Chains A and B, each alone.
Chain A
């Protein structure tokens, strides 16, 4: 399938906020709006959190508490691979009889990729396989927490002021609780793209709670700075000991300069996201809740609905007309060749999964003009187009044209139709397609 091996050869134009050209395999099709959607014109929402190594699901509240980190798994501070726990037998004296020694299991963390072990940074072996490993504490945690509380309170106060002003202007009878409960969280008040997202605003105090006055001391500026060590310029550098920038910045609390202070951090969680059409607010893609499952509850991919070149994915007979782009077409910016497409309407049979196995099937009875149609096989058709390259330079030949086909919306919402006509009506959809044919051979 060309869509798997050479994805960029055929590009479809998506009419969204921006005009985006991308291959069909990356597009979604909203069947309520009957339009193509690309990843940039849908809204992405977080569905669930999971750890990529232990595949454990984590509810969002717990994820926020743990700062989006898994409780059991660690990352190697050297190469960011997942650490595995290894066991050794060490002789340890029995508690009853100090003279005898028995073999006890000791666990340490080791990386299979760069061979880093927890013994490299001086972390002692633990006697339990999991749960014994702690991340070192940040000495500034207390100050940071106090600052966060103070600013949360400030944000809360400012929001109250803003709401009071708005309500005083418009609806004086609306209770004050309304704006707080229905604050950020519903789609109506969703953050617009570009506005700064304040994570503090979500954590608001409940109504009725006493608001303590929190005072913070401003940070004090010091005149004296710790001087550099005297042998800073003369000491030879021990290269294996110096941490790389990436290793340093992955631990923003400490940012150690020496590799012997690189402690492992808990593994970051990944998310499953769901996509939603911005115009009609219907879900285009919703993944399964279980982290081990890669299927989707809802997946409206464009390849299932929109015509691929030459192949008809739906089960009805489809009529396709190809129209060349006219001169001065505003969407036709990339083509370097003129194309003459067949003017007649092409008819594609429906997709029939059992047709391959049914030997007694009647042959399809379409009268094909041999100049236009090269071959026809079940739901595929090959047709001729003439291409005249416009430029002589060695570039890729790109042609663009419009495909116009009929589409039956099988899953349209049930509306009581006044005319009582057939439930599936055909809609004519037009797509602008760009086809990259490859370089010119002299």
Chain B
């Protein structure tokens, strides 16, 4: 798939830590670093066009999720002087099916529900929940523990953080290798289990 091509270019390759479970059917382009205990489902897309993406530990990226570090709209890809911005994603986040995230900075314990859409200028702190089909494209920092829900993107603050999906992650890390091929991890000594 994209693996032999990406290895030829010097900087741009996927850096998958040991303990992460990344399916081969997922599309990872560009300079992407994935932390341990992260699960990337098939058909997920992580595209680092305009800069590297660093994903932390314990994240769950489901099918058809799109995490993209793209160029701002009014800048052509070939102009010089554009510094690549790094997209950072913290730990224990959940990107549910079909969501699109272009936010440059995402903290910990966030849940981005199905078909949610995060714009480039949003910064998620910790414990935020962006509801299904909610589009957040304002230029702001979302405070901690905010829940965005409803067709009008109403907001409220919740008292508890969403719990990290440890049970789900453990289950997936056991089951997914039985049915899918995995991408090779770069660091670590053991090769992932293959059918």
Contact = CB atoms under 8 A, between A and B. Distances in A.
Contact of B159 (A79, A113, A120): A120
A119 B149 contact: no
Interface in A240-272: 240, 259
What interface size band does chain B fall in? Answer: 10 to 19
A381 B189 CA distance: 75
B156 interface: yes
B138 to A, nearest CB: 15
A117 B157 CA distance: 11
B159 A78 contact: no
A120 B154 CA distance: 18
A160 interface: no
A113 B155 CA distance: 12
Contacts of A117: 158-160
Contacts of A114: 131, 147, 149-150, 154, 156
A305 B26 CA distance: 56
A371 B137 CA distance: 60
Interface in B131-172: 131, 147, 149-150, 154-160, 162
Nearest to B157: A240
A78 B156 contact: yes
B150 A116 contact: no
Contacts of B159: 117, 119-120
Contacts of A115: 129, 147, 149, 158, 162
B149 A120 contact: no
Contacts of A79: 149-150, 154
Nearest to B158: A115
A79 B149 CA distance: 9
A132 to B, nearest CB: 21
Contacts of A119: 159-160
A240 B156 contact: yes
A51 B18 CA distance: 52
A26 to B, nearest CB: 27
B157 A113 contact: no
A116 B156 contact: yes
A115 B154 CA distance: 12
A119 B158 CA distance: 10
A2 B11 CA distance: 59
B166 to A, nearest CB: 15
Interface string A409-427: 0000000000000000000
Interface in B86-130: 129
Nearest to A239: B155
Which residue, of A79, A117, A240, A259, has the highest number of chain B Cβ atoms within 10 A?
A240
A128 B44 CA distance: 42
Interface of B: 129, 131, 147, 149-150, 154-160, 162
15 contacts: A78-B156, A79-B150, A114-B149, A114-B150, A114-B154, A114-B156, A115-B129, A115-B149, A115-B162, A117-B160, A119-B159, A119-B160, A120-B159, A240-B156, A240-B157
